[in-house]
Amino acid sequence: MTQNSVKRMIQQYRCPIIVFAKKSINSRYFGLGSNCLLKLPYYKTINFVTLSNISSNMTRENVREKVALIGSGNWGTVISKIIGNNVMRYKEFHQEVKMWVFEEKVGGRNLTELINEKHENVKYLPGFPIPENVKALPDLSEVVRDATVLVFCIPHQFVPKTCDQLKGKINPKAKAISLVKGFETDETGIRPMSHAISESLNIPVCSLSGANIANEIAEEHFSETTIGYNNLEEGELFKKLFETKYFRVGIIDDVVGVQLCGALKNVIAIGAGFVDGLKLGENAKAAIIRIGFFEMKQFMKKFYGGIKDETFFESCGIADVIATCYGGRNRKVAEKFVTTGKSFDQLEEELLNGQKLQGTLTVKEIHRVLSSKGINDEFKLFTTIYRIAFEGLPPKSIVENID
Ligand SMILES: NC(=O)c1ccc[n+]([C@@H]2O[C@H](COP(=O)([O-])OP(=O)(O)OC[C@H]3O[C@@H](n4cnc5c(N)ncnc54)[C@H](O)[C@@H]3O)[C@@H](O)[C@H]2O)c1
Ligand SMILES: O=P(O)(O)OC[C@H](O)CO
């Protein structure tokens, strides 16, 4: 092998690491220096190691994270664009992203085939290109095989079953981040998605949530988001994976707080939609936002110790309440609930083309917890929203039943 053939190999295979079988045959032997001498755009350094010292040389720096994206709905697809581009920018990551698609037929063809052929999710995010290094797959096991980073972005009702399917299939050293806006409940309280995933798969889980209406971010309009971490190193790695010029990432050591805000703001959005349907104007909507924000904070503090006050003033907190009460799907469908008198299930089916509401389920889930604890009176807005949505209370009660 000549110096030129080694260079060609590096370029052809985009190698970040070159392993030499014999100690005597090393990078100097080829006149390549002890580390990277080629100014290639895709790696900052190329690591030359010999087989004999490969294990000691394989530091965190040169073991690249393989990213699997679990989900490909409206937000999942925007995220595939962001992380697909970012893994190409940083040497910490392997350059392919495998994306799990819950397979379905679109125009008689498999959605995975359409995504891989057109590099576009024609059903959940039509009109926006997906980077070519994002590979859509219908088989969950194949998506997570070898992955060291799992990004969960599916509606919260599908998380338990998806985790069941993942048991025993993932890399035990993997780490995850949940972009899911929802939680699990039972009579005793709530279980954040990060805990549900972590307990099911025995891996650490961070969270990401913010004022993030997917289509606006697909357009690359400026927005912010918040990552909640337990371990700073993981928080910083995830920031690298997600941040772009138009998608600014703040990090805070409050995994639970970040994601609970993301779940509960959907309840407030339903209240805001009722106000819009009733045409009560902006003052009334601002009042619902204020009271909703207060109940959200009370609820979180009651059910979880350790949530930081600062979290409520990050993108995941007040900013997401505002964004979702003006531009989200929960708001839109709640408005139609008032103006058409149809049920939420019917409207979801008719208006969202397969996309899922998270707020209606969360309204039911928190009502169950509040009822079992006998504390509905402490959460008058949340309780009224439940009763309008599911017990036939007139929508105008939204402003009559609150103090
Ligand atoms: N869309 C947004 O603007 C937005 C922004 C931030 C966060 N989120 C959150 O991200 C999460 C994912 O939402 P989304 O917008 O990507 O999805 P979506 O609502 O657009 O689409 C629903 C997805 O669920 C999939 N699905 C249907 N049945 C399934 C099943 N049985 N098992 C697994 N998957 C199934 C569909 O294939 C589709 O990919 C939600 O918690 C949502 O609140 C959404
Ligand atoms: O469309 P929604 O109501 O699910 O809200 C979308 C995002 O969560 C807003 O941040």
Q: Which of 53-67, 143-157, 264-278, 325-339 has the lowest mean pLDDT?
A: 53-67
**Residue scoring higher pLDDT (166 or 11):** 166
CA of 317 to the centre of ligand 2 (A): 13
pLDDT given for residue 25 in this prediction: 58
Q: Is the CB of 324 under 6 A from ligand 2?
A: yes
Would you say 264 and 156 are in contact if contact means Cβ atoms under 8 Å apart? Answer: no
pLDDT given for residue 184 in this prediction: 96
pLDDT (mean) for 77-88: 98
Q: Whose CA is nearest to atom 4 of ligand 2?
A: 329
Q: Which of 5-19, 96-110, 141-155, 293-307 has the lowest mean pLDDT?
A: 5-19
CA of 356 to the centre of ligand 1 (A): 6
pLDDT (mean) for 97-123: 98
Question: What are the helix and strand counts (H, E) for the chain?
Answer: 17, 14
Ligand nearest to the CA of 223: 2
Placement of tokens 């100690």 in the chain? 23
265 is catalytic: yes
Q: Whose CA is nearest to atom 1 of ligand 1?
A: 75
Q: Is the CB of 156 under 6 A from ligand 1?
A: yes
Q: What ipTM was predicted for this assembly?
A: 0.99
pLDDT given for residue 22 in this prediction: 55
pLDDT given for residue 8 in this prediction: 58
pLDDT given for residue 24 in this prediction: 56
Q: How confident is the model at residue 34 (pLDDT cuts 50, 70, 90)?
A: very low
CA of 34 to the centre of ligand 1 (A): 48
Ligand nearest to the CA of 216: 1
pLDDT (mean) for 65-84: 98
Q: How confident is the model at residue 38 (pLDDT cuts 50, 70, 90)?
A: very low
Q: Is the CB of 264 under 6 A from ligand 2?
A: no
Q: How confident is the model at residue 392 (pLDDT cuts 50, 70, 90)?
A: very high
Which residues fall within 8 angstroms of residue 18, CB to CB, at 6 or more apart?
6, 9, 10, 27, 46, 47, 48, 49
**Residues placed in the known binding site for substrate:** 181, 329-330
**pLDDT surpasses 60 at 45:** no
**Residue scoring higher pLDDT (80 or 18):** 80
User: Which atom of ligand 2 is nearest to 265's Cα?
Assistant: 8
Ligand nearest to the CA of 333: 2
- Kindly report the average pLDDT of the chain as a whole number: 90
pLDDT digits (tens, 9 = 90+) for 194-217: 999 999 999 999 999 999 999 999
Surface-to-core class of residue 167, CB atoms within 10 Å of its CB (0-12 exposed, 13-18 middle, 19+ buried): exposed
pLDDT given for residue 19 in this prediction: 53
**pLDDT surpasses 70 at 15:** no
pLDDT given for residue 3 in this prediction: 62
Q: What is the radius of gyration, based on Cα positions, of the chain?
A: 24
pLDDT (mean) for 32-42: 42
pLDDT given for residue 402 in this prediction: 74
Cα separation, 399 vs 198, in Å, equals 40
- Alpha carbon 383 to its chain's center: 28
CA of 263 to the centre of ligand 2 (A): 10
Q: Is the CB of 183 under 6 A from ligand 1?
A: no
pLDDT (mean) for 44-51: 45
Q: Is the CB of 121 under 6 A from ligand 2?
A: no
What percent of the chain has pLDDT above 90?
82
Architecture of the CATH domain 266-400: Orthogonal Bundle (1.10)
Would you say 314 and 208 are in contact if contact means Cβ atoms under 8 Å apart? Answer: no
pLDDT (mean) for 71-91: 98
**pLDDT surpasses 50 at 288:** yes
**Residues placed in the known binding site for NAD(+):** 71-76, 102, 158, 214, 329, 356, 358
Q: How confident is the model at residue 188 (pLDDT cuts 50, 70, 90)?
A: confident
Q: How confident is the model at residue 43 (pLDDT cuts 50, 70, 90)?
A: very low
- Alpha carbon 384 to its chain's center: 29
pLDDT digits (tens, 9 = 90+) for 228-276: 999 999 999 999 999 999 999 999 999 999 999 999 999 999 999 999 9
Q: How confident is the model at residue 187 (pLDDT cuts 50, 70, 90)?
A: confident
**pLDDT surpasses 60 at 13:** no
Catalytic residue among 265, 285, 297, 336: 265
Cα separation, 398 vs 287, in Å, equals 11
Domain borders along the chain are 3-61, 64-253, 266-400
> CATH: 3.40.50.720, 3.40.50.300, 3.30.530.20, 3.50.50.60. Which one for 64-253?
3.40.50.720
Q: Is the CB of 182 under 6 A from ligand 1?
A: yes
pLDDT given for residue 401 in this prediction: 79
pLDDT given for residue 280 in this prediction: 98
